[in-house]
A = this chain, B = another copy of it.
Amino acid sequence: MKVIDGGVVAAKGFKAAGIHAGLKKSKKDMALVVSECDAATAAVFTTNTVKAAPVIWDQGIAKNAVAKAVVVNSGNANACTGKKGLEDAEETAAYAASLLGTEKSKVYVCSTGVIGVPLDMEKIHKGTEALVPLLTEKGGQEAADAICTTDTFRKEVAVSVDIGGCTVTIGGMAKGSGMIHPNMATMLCFVTTDAKISSSTLSDLLGKTVEDTFNMISVDGDTSTNDTCIVLANGVAGNDEIKYGSAEYEVFEEGFHYVLGELAKLITRDGEGAGRFIEMNVVNAISDKDAKLMARSVISSSLVKAAFFGSDANWGRILCAMGYSGAAFDPSLVDLSFSSSQGTIETVHAGEPLPFSEEIAKKILLEKEIVVTADCHQGAGKATAWGCDLTYDYVKINGDYRS
């Protein structure tokens, strides 16, 4: 596996573009990603009962299993917009399809931004018209910029892997949580690959991989109405079809997992107001499931997150969050340590506190990237979750009226 540049257009046969269409004041706000031929597709969506109109549209596209393009706007979420919202999502797809010479049933539509406000369809149409002639194999950065909201940097990852002597590329772009009044956190992720792989195999792989990547990060625990992760596989690389469970599948899986994992971590690093990136490892738990529950509980705890903001080696809050996670474990067996580039400090052994130097602990915890490891000494279960600290800036970004 080789990490490469190019993001969402790293794979062969994909073009992208990003522009300012006027939905936001001055930043880029519309992106288009297109495959040169029909692509197998899979997607996962928010589990929120309140789903934005484009999510409902996209669920239909994913069921068809074939897609060619994705139109994204980052100014208006088209959520809580009723029947008009559904019509607008469909109309967005239909208009892009007509310009791209395909059917609307092959065009995904994604939106993020203000909610409860009807889409300005004139701007969407003009934006789509402007995007089509700009489509290029080098347009990944523009597209990655154009899907951002309060993100402070664009998020792109790509790798190439060798599938039976054939170079197959997997790349993607994502945006993290961002608020625009009155709005909510939204995660969007678009992955492209030139692999030949069926929609159903891709769908299995996506479900499994999201479980260990996007479902293991937390900025604030809120699940948006618009969360979407879409994969397109156009087969342009020329490999023999990747079959579930084959050696080739495993190679592809490694690359695919890397792309989604890195994009997930980039979102966490760019968490609103975040100053520190926290990795929580749980090892030797009774099961992977228990380990996951504990790791997720810790990175979601406001008390733990606030402690990291204060560079406080507050192991008690971590044990506490493991304790209310619903996981089965014996607290009297747990070892707990904190690490960073400045070293490692053991704070708990067999459930009881170890004496440690507060000075060294502080030095370790003042770093920007902290790793916490809880060893349960009970089995072989393990999991990793990623999060960030809770800061004044988080409260400011999300509390300021009409910011």
Contacts and interface: CB of A to CB of B under 8 A. Distances in A.
Interface of A: 46-51, 79-82, 115-117, 179, 181-185, 220-225, 301-303, 306-317, 319-324, 327-329, 331-332, 348, 351-353, 358, 362, 389-392, 394-396, 398-403
Contacts of A319: 50, 80, 225
Q: Output the residue of A183, A221, A311, A399 with the most chain B CB within 10 A.
A: A399
A182 B302 contact: no
Contact of A306 (B50, B311, B315, B395): B395
B316 A184 contact: yes
Contacts of A302: 220-222, 302, 390, 394, 398
A115 B49 contact: no
A323 B225 contact: yes
Given A49-B331, A323-B50, A331-B50, A314 B395 contact: no
Given A116-B353, A302-B394, 5 more contacts: A49-B322, A80-B353, A221-B302, A222-B320, A308-B399
B395 A392 contact: yes
Contacts of A331: 49-50, 80
A360 to B, nearest CB: 14
Nearest to A179: B303
A217 to B, nearest CB: 15
A10 B102 CA distance: 78
Contacts of A324: 46-49, 222-223
A182 B116 contact: no
A40 to B, nearest CB: 30
Contacts of A179: 303
A87 B169 CA distance: 62
Given A179-B303, A222-B301, A320-B184, A399 B309 contact: yes
Contacts of A220: 301-303
Nearest to A304: B222
A84 to B, nearest CB: 9
In the A-B complex, the 4 residue pairs with the smallest Cβ-Cβ separation, listed nearest first, are A50-B323, A116-B353, A310-B399, A306-B398
B48 A320 contact: yes
A319 B328 CA distance: 33
A312 B401 CA distance: 5
Contacts of A309: 395, 399
Of A50, A181, A327, A392, chain B has the most CB atoms within 10 Å of the CB of A50
